[in-house]
Amino acid sequence: MMKFDQIMSDLRNKKYAPIYFLMGEETYYIDEISDYIAANVLTETEKVFNQTVIYGKDTDIGTVINAAKRFPMMANNQVIIVREAQNIKTIDDLIYYVEKPLKSTVLVINYKYKVLDKRKKLFTALDKHAIIFNSEKLYDDKIPNWISEYLHSKGYGITPDAAVLLTEFLGNDLGKIVNELKKLFITLPQGTVKITADIIEKNIGISKDYNNFELQKALATKDILKANRIILHFAKNPNDNPFVLTISSLYSYFIKVFKYHFLPDKSKTAVAAALKVHPFFTIEYEAAARKYPPAKLVQIIAWLREYDLKSKGVGSYSATQGDLLKELVYKIVH
């Protein structure tokens, strides 16, 4: 299996493989490779007769193989892109083409949201005759660094808190993140080189003061006034601040604070690696650990589970999610 950067480097150097089998949970990289091939292997004139897009839900493997076996017309290559290939029931039969692919065909299989079983004969054949790419989903803690690296490649920087703010709001869907950043590029004032939380709030509509990240910071220092302001805002805007996401965010946060207590090495680098956070934020976990001893954290984690159930109607039938959050925060800080 090849890495994304190597595949893209080969494509830019016009080094094409006969088959690209692109699989995995993270659709962003699959789309990047597939779209690059669609845009760059053939000229616009050549595409008219030599580029075909097939959708898995509307075809069968026989149709794909027949298309791949055609020779190009007035071009060196033909490009066949199969989107939604995970919907082809007889995908294993692709082996009959994979074992003897046509060198003039560039066949791109988009096999999203799942991976091919390595024990299958098809995988073995692909590994021998094709490029296999497994696009793995990034964990949430990796997203801020990914955003920073992506922006760096576009000539921008971003503050650590702004990267976390974007992650908090957009999650780990890389395609969604890139779309929002592309919109942001259009609205940025000329000469802007570093993206801050203020810029994100102004141009994307994410509040830099009222979000789960800021709630965590307030609870870390037991800033009761700030925490109450945030949860009051959440209660007034429940659609923009889902209770389930707040609970999930706090649970992850306090689990990390609990782990901090038992780290043998509490240097910034070691803490960042162990907790999978940006080194910029390690001081916050140190401060939170001083406020919350292990016994208190065990109780907080139990409360988070309890209030998650209550929000789903277990043992609480009348309280609003805003009321539940107020109760929970009161227990945490007192």
Same domain, 126 and 8: yes
CATH, residue 35: 3.40.50.300
Task: Report pLDDT for 105.
Answer: 97
pLDDT at 322: 84
User: Do 294 and 262 share a structural domain?
Assistant: yes
Note whether 19 and 69 are same-domain residues: yes
**Distance set, CA 122 to CA 21, 99, 206 (Å):** 11, 9, 46
pLDDT of residue 276: 85
Determine which helix (DSSP H) or strand (DSSP E) holds 285, and give its type and residue range. helix 282-291
Which tokens in the block code for residue 146? Answer: 């990914």
CA 39 vs. chain centroid, Å, equals: 24
Residues 244 and 324 in one domain: yes
One domain for residues 18 and 108: yes
Question: Is there a single domain that holds both residue 181 and residue 230?
Answer: no
Specify the number of domains making up the chain.
Answer: 3
Residues in the chain predicted with pLDDT less than 50, given as ranges, are none
User: What pLDDT, on a 0 to 100 scale, did the predictor assign at position 31?
Assistant: 96
8 A C-beta contact, residue 177 and residue 149: no
Whole-number pLDDT of residue 124? 95
pLDDT number for residue 140: 78
Per-residue b/e over 143-181, b at no fewer than 16 CB within 10 Å? Answer: bbebbbeebeeeebebbbbbbbbbbbbbebbbeebbebb
Q: What share of the chain is helix, strand, coil (3-state, %, to 5)?
A: 60, 10, 30
Structural domain boundaries enclosing 153: 140-204
Residues 124 and 231 in one domain: no
Confidence (pTM)? 0.75
Same domain, 71 and 171: no
- What CATH number does the domain containing 160 carry? 1.10.8.60
Residue 113 and residue 230 share a domain: no
The domain that contains 223 carries what CATH number? 1.20.272.10
| pLDDT at position 211 | 85
- Cα 290 to the chain's mean position, in Å? 32
pLDDT tens figures, 245-282: 899 989 999 999 999 999 999 999 999 889 988 888 89
User: Of 85, 119, 134, which one is at a domain's C-terminal end?
Assistant: 134
Residues 129 and 171 in one domain: no
Domain shared by 8 and 129, yes or no = yes
Domain boundary among 183, 204, 225: 204
Domain-terminating residue out of 73, 102, 134: 134
- Shared domain check, 308 and 218: yes
